[in-house]
Amino acid sequence: MSKFKRSQRIAMMVMEFLFYANKSFSLNYFCEKFDVAKSSVSEDLQKLNKSFQEQGLGMIVSNIGASGGAYFKPSISKSESQLFLENLKNKLQSKERILPGGYLYYSDLIFNPKITNYLGLIFASRYVDEKIDYVLTMETKGIPIAMATANYLNSEVVVARRESKVTEGAVVTINYVTGSTRRIQSMSLNKRSMQPGKRVLIIDDFMKAGGSAKGLYELTKEFNCIIAGIGVVIDTEIPQQKMVDNYFSLLKLKKVNEITGEVEIEIGGK
């Protein structure tokens, strides 16, 4: 008889599913791990699915059969996502965050794992069916969000750098025009970082005119990869015309007034 009771099996299964989100485990794997019959594992999985849905994190997708398996498919509930974004919006709408030039300081939020986990869960929920191989971002502030997203998608992160480093080896470099200041900048990516034909999700923290998203887009094409989506946390209302078309944003920055200290942000950017 198994030394694990149902509640213990279930606890350990949650740990595995969360640690390896979007990765399929065979039923046999759990049968052997817990020394129980397939029927017990199937029943466990049904219970687990209910719990994941109740918690608003997603679901356990099971494929019962000879070569059966199950995986945790992340999917944040609409209400939970709204609640989180409302909270984030309120934090961002503080006049203390206004920097000279009308920028907003938000490094404290973007490097807080509790916040990035949620952001990652939201992006992963949207792109989980797109079979993403790489989450591509640009240094520096895109990295934590890209990592959290890739964690839930079971994919890898690839980081384009502003300058190529001696510790990086052969790189592909492209030039791009920053959308807002019209300066020419370059970004580099190690030649071995993406295999051709793979599916890429571009993630960034902020989009004004979309120059760096456009750069990442061009870089993806240089590697003969497929762009499966572009997601940003905050985009700006102005300029309305961005350098990339199809993107998804969580928050829209409508106004920053350095004199009155007013910051206006709207949920559901694009």
Please, what is the minimum distance in Å from the beta carbon of residue 151 to a copy of itself? 4
Strands 103-104 and 98-99: antiparallel
Please, what is the minimum distance in Å from the beta carbon of residue 8 to a copy of itself? 5
Of the two residues 148 and 233, which places its CB atom closer to a copy of itself in the complex?
148
Of the two residues 47 and 199, which places its CB atom closer to a copy of itself in the complex?
47
> Which residues are at the interface with a copy of itself (CB under 8 A)?
4-8, 10-12, 14-16, 18-20, 44, 47-48, 50-52, 54-55, 57, 99-101, 103, 105, 107-108, 111-114, 116-117, 139-140, 143-144, 147-148, 150-151, 154, 156-159, 161, 166-169, 190, 192-193
Cα-Cα-Cα-Cα dihedral sign, residues 156, 73, 8, 41: negative
Contact 135, 158 (CB under 8 A): yes
User: At a CB cut-off of 8 Å and minimum separation 6, what does 50 contact?
Assistant: none
Contact 122, 151 (CB under 8 A): no
| Eight-state DSSP code of residue 112 | -
Please, what is the minimum distance in Å from the beta carbon of residue 101 to a copy of itself? 6
Contact 38, 1 (CB under 8 A): no
The CA-atom distances, in angstroms, between 64 and each of 58, 117, 124, 154 are 19, 30, 25, 22
Of the two residues 159 and 209, which places its CB atom closer to a copy of itself in the complex?
159
Of the two residues 232 and 245, which places its CB atom closer to a copy of itself in the complex?
232
Of the two residues 63 and 180, which places its CB atom closer to a copy of itself in the complex?
180
Please, what is the minimum distance in Å from the beta carbon of residue 139 to a copy of itself? 5
